[in-house]
Amino acid sequence: MMESVPIVKELLLVGGGHSHALVLRRWGMRPVPGVRLTLVNPDAVAPYSGMLPGHLAGHYTRAALDIDLVRLARFAGARFIPGRVVALDPAARVARLGSGRQLRYDIASLDIGITADMTALRGFAEHGIPAKPLDRFAARWAEMAAGSGPVRISVIGGGVAGAEIAMACAHRLSVEGRDRAITLIDRGRVLASVARAARGHLLRALSGWGVEIVENDPPVEVLADAVLLESGRRIAADITIGAAGATPQRWLGETGLDTHEGFVVVDQHLRSTSHPTLYAAGDCAHFAPDPRPKAGVYAVRAAPVLAHNLAADLTGRQRRAFRPQRDFLKLISMGGKTAVAEKAGFALAGPWLWRWKDRIDARFMETLRDLPAMPPPSVPANAATGVARAMAGPAPCGGCGAKLGAGALSEVIAGLAGAARADTERLPGDDAAIIRVGEARQVISTDHLRAFALDPALVARVAAIHALGDVWAMGAAPQSAVANVILPRMEPRLQGAWLDEVMGAAHEVFAAVGASVLGGHSSTGTELTVGFTVTGLLEREPVTLSGGRAGDVLILTKPIGSGVILAGEMQGRAEGADVLACWEAMSTPQGDAAAILAPLAHAMTDVTGFGLAGHLWNICAASGTGAEVALDAVPLLRGAEALAERGVRSTLESQNRAALEPVMAAPEGPRADLLFDPQTAGGLLAAVDAGEADALLAQLAEAGIPAARIGHLTDRAGHIELV
């Protein structure tokens, strides 16, 4: 019997900086069995700062800068948690997110970068914008660059970063034909840290772009339309950009770690000098053996040593020392496609140097985007005929994509002989049943999910919402839940932490809708599976599948496409931002939508494993109607149609399509394909009176629910038409 490797260690990467991105790639090539790797970062992507000036100048799109951390995490077999760490207890080995969620670890590493947020400068927080972190700055610049008319820009900080930003902005506005006034402000001497020869090239370039230089005059206040200097001078500005130095994340100073001016002090192995279970790299670290300036080149050079030492601590091997170079080639953009190169005090400038820099940046990004295809698992020796063929196929999907085909279980149950009770009722086509206890009526349903992601808390939250779908669809009020959890093999000391994550996330969902978690059962297996048996109380007649009438309008409360996106994420083909949007949609409860629709719906169901088309057919079959669906009106999750067009499919899609071939002819094309895509924790599909539809859609919109009118029921029983 083949056994999975038990999990015995937890490795936590905080931040998606350049060092950690490269660590993830290396880990994917050579993982350490028995370790759960976790990456926490606020966003799905991390921008590559080396290409920022080129983006500001218009040479690169915003997307060209993005390192897709979700894709890298999947390649590395790591769980990705969107969030920001705001506190760390290195003695207890616990990191706390802004959401309040706590993550335990055996070994952790920090690569959270720096900020240019000038908290000490009066008015900057309200009216200025720091150049780092990049996302907010890039969005603000895109908004300004897309405008018209003259622009006044002040850049605070006359180092290399400030000079590059000033010249990039000048180039972009020049190309747009807009008048501009750009001022580079420094409390001391502009470009003081740059070698004399390179400084000369840069000063001439700044002058050529018409950038005014203000030296030895510190800013004292930032206003909505100006910067006030110590001399009393007022510099008009429509946007004030902060590029003055490197400021550490403030929470680092509250951790008890050894710090130097707010940066984590690390030794020759990149370990904290005060807490050896914690590493740090990139701009957030202070390398005590040989302090170096804040530069991305050191983060990139540190990555192999960091990856080796993390693995060494987890496996008991020898660590390696990091030896940063004393000097390195500096390539500095000068607005247009030209650059200056400096090393050891010598400098050259010209367009060919920009092209050289562009090739270096492109190779770095390609390293993190062109991830090698991992070989399929090897076929065991002496395996039965057919095993190799089965293992050669795509990996089975998680979520509802792992379900069996339509009718597989119901047909078996229908053939079972057993006692029939008068106080139970199973409604044709519905997944839930009704139990009568005296005068009270309970809805009962059960569902579970094979993990679609590597984060147990996310899987548990979605599984809880998914299980409640049948209760909401029948118009019942959630009452109770019982959990069934299968954990992968792991050390006993980790089991409690994993169960805490699972049940904590589930409790939040059930408590928010007034349901009690009564208990459950847990066991170990080959992979994470989470499910719940739920009950709900009926205070009115249940909304079933069989009440639909010809002419009823069909309302869908969530976009579809989760099956394709989850399959694409497993294959490393989905965009990270699209994956996070999909997770967010699946994590959105449908109780508010049910409360609006149930009192007036003639028929209603939740859209899950059999896809929108399959669940619509269940309404039609039970109600004796047909349906007409406006294909262009069906809302889709971002990125789903593009993946479907590239041939990405959930493993259940073909069975869903085959089951409906007798009743509908689907046109060719990715949008039509998505009608058969299995949904996990999908929306509600309701058939409502045509006269009530507009008012219901307005109520749903007011409640923040992205519902859509997608078609109507017809009198052509047994037929679904797409228009």
pLDDT band with cut points at 50, 70 and 90 for residue 2: very low
Token pair of 598, please?
A: 């149930």
Say which residues have a Cβ less than 8 Å from residue 507's Cβ, sequence separation at least 6: 517
Place of tokens 């070994």: 107
Q: Is 47 in the same domain as 169? A: no
Q: CA-to-CA distance for 661 and 227, rounded, in angstroms?
A: 68
Nearest to 50 by CA among 34, 28, 65, 36: 65
Contact 683, 567 (CB under 8 A): no
Is residue 426, in this structure, part of any structural domain at all?
no
Is residue 61, in this structure, part of any structural domain at all?
yes
Say which residues have a Cβ less than 8 Å from residue 370's Cβ, sequence separation at least 6: none
Is residue 389, in this structure, part of any structural domain at all?
no
Asked if pLDDT for residue 392 goes beyond 90, the answer is no
The confidence score (pLDDT) of residue 293 equals 79
pLDDT, tens only, 267-309: 999 999 999 999 999 999 999 999 887 777 888 999 999 999 9
Asked if pLDDT for residue 1 goes beyond 50, the answer is no
The confidence score (pLDDT) of residue 568 equals 94
Q: Is 347 in the same domain as 317? A: no
Contact 245, 116 (CB under 8 A): yes
pLDDT band with cut points at 50, 70 and 90 for residue 444: very high
Q: Which amino acid is at 529?
A: T
E-assigned strand segments in 83-121: 85-89, 94-97, 102-104, 107-110
- Mean pLDDT calculated for residue range 201-227: 95
- Mean pLDDT calculated for residue range 395-409: 56
279: number of CA atoms within 13 Å, CB side?
34
The confidence score (pLDDT) of residue 584 equals 97
Is residue 407, in this structure, part of any structural domain at all?
no
Asked if pLDDT for residue 130 goes beyond 50, the answer is yes
The confidence score (pLDDT) of residue 533 equals 95
pTM: 0.91
pLDDT, tens only, 37-55: 999 999 999 989 889 999 9
Q: Is 670 in the same domain as 560? A: yes
Q: Is 445 in the same domain as 467? A: yes
Q: Is 696 in the same domain as 577? A: yes
Nearest to 240 by CA among 134, 137, 113: 137
pLDDT: which is higher, 142 or 9: 9
Q: Is 619 in the same domain as 713? A: yes
Q: Is 691 in the same domain as 577? A: yes
Phi, psi torsion values for 636, nearest 5 degrees: -120, 145
Last residue of a domain, one of 523, 541, 559: 541
Q: CA-to-CA distance for 370 and 416, rounded, in angstroms?
A: 53
Place of tokens 């262009």: 632
The confidence score (pLDDT) of residue 415 equals 55
Instruction: Tally Cβ neighbours within 10 Å of residue 548.
Output: 26
Q: Which of 284, 397, 400, 582 is catalytic?
A: 400
pLDDT, tens only, 492-545: 999 999 999 999 999 999 999 999 999 999 999 989 999 999 999 999 899 999
pLDDT band with cut points at 50, 70 and 90 for residue 670: very high
pLDDT: which is higher, 425 or 721: 721
pLDDT band with cut points at 50, 70 and 90 for residue 224: very high
DSSP letters, 536-560, are EE-SSPPP-STT--TTPEEEE-S-B
Contact 638, 578 (CB under 8 A): yes
Q: What distance lies between CA 501 and its chain's CA centroid?
A: 19
- Mean pLDDT calculated for residue range 677-690: 96
Contact 563, 30 (CB under 8 A): no
Nearest to 450 by CA among 509, 525, 535: 525
Token pair of 504, please?
A: 């904590």
Asked if pLDDT for residue 368 goes beyond 70, the answer is yes
The confidence score (pLDDT) of residue 289 equals 94
Q: Is 452 in the same domain as 481? A: yes
314-317 CB contacts, 8 Å cutoff, 24+ apart: 314/9, 314/11, 314/32, 314/35, 314/106, 314/107, 315/32
The confidence score (pLDDT) of residue 297 equals 84
pLDDT band with cut points at 50, 70 and 90 for residue 396: low
- Mean pLDDT calculated for residue range 359-378: 87
Total count of domains within the chain: 4
Q: Is 240 in the same domain as 257? A: no
557: number of CA atoms within 13 Å, CB side?
37
Among 22-26, 121-125, 336-340, 376-380, the minimum mean pLDDT is found in 376-380
Is residue 416, in this structure, part of any structural domain at all?
no
Contact 79, 453 (CB under 8 A): yes
Please count the residues of the chain. 723
Is residue 638, in this structure, part of any structural domain at all?
yes
Adjacent-strand bridge partners of 686: 555, 604
Among 128-142, 493-507, 579-593, the minimum mean pLDDT is found in 128-142
Q: Is 320 in the same domain as 337? A: no
- Mean pLDDT calculated for residue range 555-571: 96
Q: CA-to-CA distance for 469 and 467, rounded, in angstroms?
A: 5
Asked if pLDDT for residue 169 goes beyond 80, the answer is yes
pLDDT: which is higher, 119 or 612: 612
Contact 604, 470 (CB under 8 A): no
Phi, psi torsion values for 250, nearest 5 degrees: -65, -30
The confidence score (pLDDT) of residue 531 equals 95
For the chain, give the percent of residues with pLDDT over 70: 94
Last residue of a domain, one of 256, 289, 324: 324
Query: Which domain covers residue 586, as residue numbers?
Result: 544-723
Is residue 716, in this structure, part of any structural domain at all?
yes
Is residue 336, in this structure, part of any structural domain at all?
yes
H helix or E strand, kind and range, residue 695 = helix 690-702
Give the domain CATH number at 478. Answer: 3.30.1330.10
pLDDT: which is higher, 357 or 297: 357
Among 119-123, 239-243, 300-304, 605-609, the minimum mean pLDDT is found in 119-123
Asked if pLDDT for residue 374 goes beyond 80, the answer is no
pLDDT band with cut points at 50, 70 and 90 for residue 380: confident
The confidence score (pLDDT) of residue 715 equals 94
Q: Is 561 in the same domain as 492? A: no
What's the Cα-to-Cα distance from 578 to each of 37, 206, 485, rounded to whole Å?
22, 40, 28
Average pLDDT, the chain: 91
Among 294-298, 400-404, 474-478, 581-585, the minimum mean pLDDT is found in 400-404
Last residue of a domain, one of 524, 541, 558: 541
The confidence score (pLDDT) of residue 152 equals 95
Sheet strand arrangement including 263-266 = 259-260, 263-266, 285-287
Token pair of 235, please?
A: 């510099």
Asked if pLDDT for residue 87 goes beyond 70, the answer is yes
Q: Is 602 in the same domain as 708? A: yes
pLDDT: which is higher, 521 or 410: 521
Contact 221, 251 (CB under 8 A): no
Give the domain CATH number at 604. Answer: 3.90.650.10
The confidence score (pLDDT) of residue 378 equals 78
pLDDT band with cut points at 50, 70 and 90 for residue 3: low
Give the domain CATH number at 227. Answer: 3.50.50.60
The confidence score (pLDDT) of residue 260 equals 94
Contact 107, 11 (CB under 8 A): yes
Instruction: Assess whether 284 carries a catalytic annotation.
Output: no
Token pair of 149, please?
A: 């008319």
DSSP letters, 430-446, are -S-EEEEETTEEEEEEE
3-state secondary structure of 302: helix
Asked if pLDDT for residue 133 goes beyond 90, the answer is no
Asked if pLDDT for residue 400 goes beyond 60, the answer is no
